[in-house]
Structure 1
């Protein structure tokens, strides 16, 4: 991916939708305007834009059929006192659930900083995946981009995916310096061994 262009994308990122409109972002890279909705991003990436349109950070998502205690009982089977306000830590997760959490925090919902605690949104995504409930990944990506842009200390997520966006909007990539994926952004036998598999 192209770190300089990713930084330019995020430095020019703006909300482009009003309250009652489809959620949209705009930016510009090398003078070219980029306009993204979940539908447009899904088309660029050739993925669906169907499923739950949910994104929360401070509170539990409110979705029919989702009850925090239900997923918490699955994630913490040895804790008889699970409740929605309990401390959500990764050290008590099974190896399988730690791997799922690792995938979420590095690939689906990238965050910067420590990974010892789970956010409510991360737990919700674990529930979606374990329950085979479809969520709108393109919308999740757009909301994650906005959250990253608005935080002082955050990673700039989806660098590799943004390369496809740049290509779609005919951003010239010739002469740009490429950055290889970091070790933690790939999965192999060594990664799984470190996680206890």
Structure 2
């Protein structure tokens, strides 16, 4: 069954305009932005109607600071915090038009047009717009490890996955320790956006994480610039960087008043909810974040929503054969130590209670002997605290009598 057009997207497109769109899309690299869709009312070609959009994210710096997550220090050292603080709505139609209208690009620049307003951009422009540094390594590779002086893939894998990790076919985020896994989620939503799942760690993702963790400069504006061009080049790639595109549109003076838009929701914030979706919860007694399956205090699963993603470039990753996750080992060891300490305290308490009962029984027996000898009155005898104590006292008295009779027989 042929797919029908959605008039809400094409805004009055007729059958004649469809042919014009096809001709324009074939020559997209050689025409000016205003020539792409000459028929009035067409914003983007048919192929973009069903393209999915990846909403922007914002990092919850307050939460990360309270939890002492090192990501705050890593981003601060490299001056990347502003990129993770963009809290702007995204405009679906304008995002599609932005990508569909790419008409001229070089290794250092690209141009597009939205609502007839031409926009020329370079990665230096992204640096100024986002207020982040435009320096550091420019190395990049989609499917293989980056080859660059001073970078070792083995060193990168050992840092992320442990000293015993080996270079094999794929890398997975589930094998990362918690703070590295949280950083991977931030990289996969802000710098190299993904859609469909965050389990796989790509070569470029690992390369980027390695530089952020070690404090080595990496040219993030260039990464965003190249990734945008890759999204346009792939036919079914997810349209990412929604909040950054909003910032671009505002910079070029586009009127956004009458455009359909969506504000960021609570699920678009990287923080406590993200850890829940990753399968972690905060242990009530330890105060540390541990996997849910290691604690009986379970919480309901949160909906992943649009946060999950598939990388637009279709990059392939590698997963090292890794040792047990340090987070799991640390949390389990600490929990076992705590439980051993609690059991020890309970055992000591039981021993103390037994000793106190023994002392009390001896006191009662002594008072009774003193009473029998007329040295104290009946009111001076301590009463038993429970029926069980009385039974034990009686048994003790019987044993004392037996011992007394045995002594007399020996005499």
Same fold (TM over 0.5): yes
Counterpart in the other structure of 1:112: 195
Contact kept in structure 1, 2:157 and 2:165, CA below 8 Å? no
Contact kept in structure 2, 1:54 and 1:140, CA below 8 Å? no
Counterpart in the other structure of 1:31: 116
Aligned with 1:147 (options 213, 220, 230): 230
- Structure 1: stretches of 5+ with no match in the other structure: none
> What is the RMSD of the two structures over their aligned residues, measured on CA atoms?
1.8
Counterpart in the other structure of 1:9: 98
Contact kept in structure 2, 1:53 and 1:135, CA below 8 Å? yes
Superposed CA offset, 1:1-49 (max 9, x none): 21111110011124422xxxx5111111001111110111212222221
Please report how far the alpha carbon of residue 184 of structure 1 lies from its aligned counterpart in structure 2 after TM superposition.
Answer: 4.6
- Greater gyration radius: 2
Please report how far the alpha carbon of residue 175 of structure 1 lies from its aligned counterpart in structure 2 after TM superposition.
Answer: 0.8
Counterpart in the other structure of 1:159: 242
Aligned with 1:127 (options 210, 217, 225): 210
Q: Does 1:171 align with 2:254?
A: yes
1:36 partner SS: strand
Give the Cα separation in 2 of the matches to 1:161 and 1:15.
20
Contact kept in structure 2, 1:112 and 1:153, CA below 8 Å? no
What TM-score do the two structures reach when normalised by structure 2? 0.44
Aligned with 1:100 (options 172, 183, 204): 183
Aligned residues: 191
Aligned with 1:62 (options 137, 142, 147): 147
What TM-score do the two structures reach when normalised by structure 1? 0.88
- TM-aligned CA distance change 1:67 to 1:45, over 3 Å: same
Contact kept in structure 1, 2:160 and 2:210, CA below 8 Å? no
Counterpart in the other structure of 1:188: 271
Structure 1 range deviating more: 31-40 or 53-62 = 53-62
Please report how far the alpha carbon of residue 194 of structure 1 lies from its aligned counterpart in structure 2 after TM superposition.
Answer: 3.7
1:25 partner SS: strand
Give the Cα separation in 2 of the matches to 1:96 and 1:134.
20
Please report how far the alpha carbon of residue 86 of structure 1 lies from its aligned counterpart in structure 2 after TM superposition.
Answer: 3.2
Bigger RCO (CA 8 Å, 6+ sep): 1
Superposed CA offset, 1:104-134 (max 9, x none): 1111210222222111000000111111111
Counterpart in the other structure of 2:31: none
Give the Cα separation in 1 of the matches to 2:266 and 2:148.
35
Superposed CA offset, 1:45-68 (max 9, x none): 222211111222112112221101
1:64 partner SS: coil
Contact kept in structure 2, 1:107 and 1:185, CA below 8 Å? no
Counterpart in the other structure of 1:82: 166
Give the Cα separation in 1 of the matches to 2:270 and 2:251.
27
Contact kept in structure 1, 2:96 and 2:239, CA below 8 Å? yes
- Structure 2: stretches of 5+ with no match in the other structure: 1-89, 281-288, 290-411
Counterpart in the other structure of 1:71: 156
Give the Cα separation in 1 of the matches to 2:119 and 2:143.
29
